Amino acid sequence: MKARQETIERIANREFDVCVIGGGASGAGCALDAQLRGLKTVLVEAGDFASGSSTAATKLVHGGVRYLQEAVTDLDINQYELVEAALRERALMLRNAPHLTRTIEFLVPCFSNFEKFYYGLGMKMYDWISGKSSLLPSRLLTRDEALFRMPALQPANLIGAVAYADGQFDDARYAMALVETFVAAGGEALNYARATAFGKNESGKLVSATVADQSSPGTLQIRARAFVNATGPFSDVVRQLASTHAPLRMRPSKGSHILFPLDGFPDNGALLVPKTEDGRVIFAIPWNGRLLIGTTDTGYTPGEEMIVTREEIDYLLRQVNPYLNSPLTADQVVSGYAGVRPLVAAPGVTDTKKLIRDDEVEFDAATGLTSILGGKWTTHRLMGEETIDKVQEYLAGPRSPSRTHDHPLVGSEGYHWDYWEKLAHNFKIPKLTAQHLAHKYGTAAAEILELAAADASLANPLVEGEAPIRAQVVYAVRTEMALTIEDVLARRIGLQTYGWRLAIQAAPVVAAVLRQELGWSAEQEDTAVKQYVSKIEHMLASAGLEPESLPTFGKDLVLERS
């Protein structure tokens, strides 16, 4: 907690060039871009970093084959340009954090020669637009090749498949890596810090923000020459803090995902369901030893709880099961998550499925607020660049180019795909733990293992037989600003996504470490565990599942490299 207090004091005692509000993909991308250009930057996040949409993604680093299809069928140049930009960014995202990303092949099952021709042509176009950024060329598979590649496919009437490559990533860790890289470059970052009001000078320009500490009573004033609103689906709220009458721009929609044991699916091959009952596509993707299925796209009511409902599970299963040899059932679900897409409203478009996932940098000349609206995880870097270009224009000082193109994120320098072997050898740890740590932290994993080397109790697993270890909790608090059990399990380590039952098992162990690190009382520790477990149980109830009914888990928590 001392470190947090020191950060608060440093922030309160300085004037910054840029204050970025919102610590998801967009905000972290803007903050890193600004700091690397030499602008003194502070990043504030109302909850935990990436606790909003940025950990609710399908975890694809992609141009979007559906958006390409729409670009072609609707002759929509904006969609086309978005796909093209995202494919360029895909390559940069993979290159700047190789430990958090990978290439994965998707299979589109075909049941007629027309489908094979149609999807095959579409994927060749996707390859062509990727150009030099192409990951692997697409290819046509025969029926036998498709079934060999993915034995879980339903074989009746299958004539083959089209295979194409896209990127996959660990969204929570990528966001942490952006924040840590920003801090390493000299930026200041504070989570649990909500911007609640702005101060203005006599000409109406924003000069300060009032920020309420969400973890303990208190507020601080942040002084800055420019403010960036990167609050995703909540952008309208902050736009209206600056200008009460700012018209609403956001049109959010809800998306849910569910996870299953990976049984029968290859670790390096995903399924694209090309047609859903509501005219979209759905993915079934191996992710950290689980099968991730998503997503839904439904209207969002302000204030709606972001948890998966039983209806959404039933919907997802209805779309995927016709393509599977052994249908999945709701009682096999191990976990799930839901989030809000930060879509920007477009004139005449009422259906959120039809809204383009493009971003817009909005500059309010009256107050000087720059808002980054909409966008995708894949394009966060470019969005940061465009936003900070605008901010520099407003600051009217010397312009400096964006430096994020080839700036490696924390953990990627010196990283190689077999880095885990070095960890296993140097620190004498099991293969699974070495792989888990290497893929979550890259070369920064060594710092975690140094903690465990200094205190052997920290080398113990969080849950017996599973890969994560207790030293990760200490690291999460000391280096990554975690303050709650959920910060640790949902975002720093990811155990909550691997399985709700695992998370319930790990909660008391995490709380015991947090008590030591954060100086909690026994009562605080007990309350934290109860609150966390009841939150997970609430998710289970919404999904129509009982805690006892959760299936047991495989031991494989790591992203095996293809």
Applying CB under 6 A, the residues found at the interface with ligand FAD are: 21-27, 44-47, 50-54, 56-60, 194-195, 230-234, 238, 255, 295, 339-342, 375-378
- C-alpha 56, offset from chain centre: 6
- DSSP letter, residue 343: P
Q: Residue 238 Cβ, how far from ligand FAD at the closest point, in Å?
A: 5
Of 58, 61, 81, nearest to 135 by C-alpha is 61
CB atoms within 10 A of CB 280: 15
Tokens at 95, concatenated: 């290159």
Backbone φ and ψ for 141, nearest 5 degrees, come out as -110, 140
- DSSP letter, residue 323: G
Burial of residue 292 (number of CB atoms within 10 Å: 0-12, 13-18, 19+):
buried
Burial of residue 276 (number of CB atoms within 10 Å: 0-12, 13-18, 19+):
middle
Residue whose CB is less far from ligand FAD, 316 or 451: 316
Q: Residue 339 Cβ, how far from ligand FAD at the closest point, in Å?
A: 4
End-to-end CA distance of the chain: 41
Residue whose CB is less far from ligand FAD, 51 or 412: 51
- C-alpha 334, offset from chain centre: 19
Of 110, 144, 170, nearest to 411 by C-alpha is 170
Residue whose CB is less far from ligand FAD, 125 or 195: 195
Residue where the block lists tokens 């162990």: 509
Q: Residue 256 Cβ, how far from ligand FAD at the closest point, in Å?
A: 7
Tokens at 286, concatenated: 């191996």
Residue whose CB is less far from ligand FAD, 164 or 427: 164
Mind giving me the DSSP string for 282-321? EEEEEETTEEEEE---EE--TT------HHHHHHHHHHHG
CA dist., res. 442 & res. 445, Å (int):
6
The conformational region for residue 59 under phi > 0 = left, psi -120 to 50 = alpha, else beta, is left
Residue whose CB is less far from ligand FAD, 211 or 423: 211
Tokens at 510, concatenated: 């995490």
Residue whose CB is less far from ligand FAD, 258 or 458: 258
Q: Residue 249 Cβ, how far from ligand FAD at the closest point, in Å?
A: 13
- DSSP letter, residue 488: I
Residue whose CB is less far from ligand FAD, 379 or 472: 379
Output the CA–CA distances (angstroms, integers) from residue 327 to 108, 316, 321, 322, in the order listed.
18, 12, 5, 8
Task: Return the H-helix or E-strand segment holding 521.
Answer: none
Q: Residue 385 Cβ, how far from ligand FAD at the closest point, in Å?
A: 15
Q: Residue 235 Cβ, how far from ligand FAD at the closest point, in Å?
A: 8
Output the CA–CA distances (angstroms, integers) from residue 123 to 101, 103, 321, 456, 506, in the order listed.
21, 16, 24, 51, 43
The SS3 call for residue 562 is coil
Residue whose CB is less far from ligand FAD, 154 or 214: 214
Backbone φ and ψ for 226, nearest 5 degrees, come out as -145, 150
Residue whose CB is less far from ligand FAD, 335 or 435: 335
Residue whose CB is less far from ligand FAD, 47 or 461: 47
Residue whose CB is less far from ligand FAD, 265 or 377: 377
Residue whose CB is less far from ligand FAD, 20 or 511: 20
Q: Residue 482 Cβ, how far from ligand FAD at the closest point, in Å?
A: 15
Q: Residue 434 Cβ, how far from ligand FAD at the closest point, in Å?
A: 28
Q: Residue 154 Cβ, how far from ligand FAD at the closest point, in Å?
A: 25
Q: Residue 496 Cβ, how far from ligand FAD at the closest point, in Å?
A: 17
Output the CA–CA distances (angstroms, integers) from residue 307 to 353, 356, 424, in the order listed.
20, 24, 37
Please calculate the CA angle 391-394-399 and round it to the nearest 5 degrees.
70
Q: Residue 196 Cβ, how far from ligand FAD at the closest point, in Å?
A: 7
Q: Residue 220 Cβ, how far from ligand FAD at the closest point, in Å?
A: 12
